[in-house]
């Protein structure tokens, strides 16, 4: 969350992005527009304040980009161990999930694969810490569009943060794996 001292730190964020790109022999485009996708939950007191600061920044700086609010909470419910039960409930589970990864992932993929003629689009996604909810969405993207297994998606997130992904985010990622397998027909996907 790029909020420090009650300020959205756009300049610092852009500086950090430039430094990361430089390490990979790339440069930050000069003519860019940022799409800031936040996974924070505006109903949580600490996050509500940060969200308000972030929202105000983009309202006042719409020439630099815009904000999309995609709250992510994960799931306290772990998928059952019985594939027959999962096959029976997975479509309804996904349609009732607050996170709605089934809707967000195709939208994110479209944003990432669309060419913009006049400007370079920077897509910045985050939660408060950038690891669990962001890891949930990133892991779901890896599985759906990059053919990464559930196990490897979790390993990537865990290696980035040097700890296990929070159970709620891991549960929702696992539910999404079953959705990809049983509803979308992704072959050879192991979800345990």
Q: Could you tell me what percent of the chain has a pLDDT over 90?
A: 80
- For the chain, what is the mean pLDDT? 93
Confidence class for position 146, pLDDT limits 50, 70, 90: very high
Mean pLDDT of 164-183: 96
Confidence of residue 12 (pLDDT cuts 50, 70, 90): very high
pTM of this structure: 0.91
Domains annotated on the chain, with CATH: 3-182 (3.90.190)
46-85 residues labelled b (16+ CB within 10 A) or e (exposed): ebeebbebbbebbeeeeeebebbebbbbbbeeebeeeeee
pLDDT at 117 over 80: no
Mean of the pLDDT values across residues 15-40?
93
pLDDT one-digit tens code per residue, 48-80? 999 999 999 999 999 999 999 999 999 999 999
């Amino acid at each position: 969350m790029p909020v420090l001292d009650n300020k959205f730190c756009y300049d610092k964020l852009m500086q950090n992005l430039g430094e990361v790109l430089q390490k990979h022999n790339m440069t930050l485009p000069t003519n860019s527009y940022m799409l800031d996708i936040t996974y924070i939950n505006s109903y949580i007191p600490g996050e509500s304040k940060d969200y308000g600061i972030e929202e105000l920044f983009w309202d006042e700086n719409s020439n630099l980009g815009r904000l999309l609010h995609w709250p992510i909470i994960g799931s306290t419910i772990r998928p059952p161990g019985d594939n027959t039960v999962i096959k029976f409930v997975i479509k309804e589970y996904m349609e009732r999930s607050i996170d709605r990864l089934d809707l967000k992932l195709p939208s994110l993929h479209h944003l990432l694969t669309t060419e913009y003629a006049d400007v370079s689009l920077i897509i910045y996604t985050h939660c408060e810490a950038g690891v669990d909810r962001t890891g949930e969405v990133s892991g779901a993207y890896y599985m759906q569009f990059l053919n990464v297994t559930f196990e490897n998606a979790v390993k990537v997130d865990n290696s980035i943060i040097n700890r296990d992904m929070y159970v709620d985010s891991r549960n929702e990622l696992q539910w999404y794996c079953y959705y990809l397998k049983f509803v979308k027909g992704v072959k050879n996907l192991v979800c345990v």
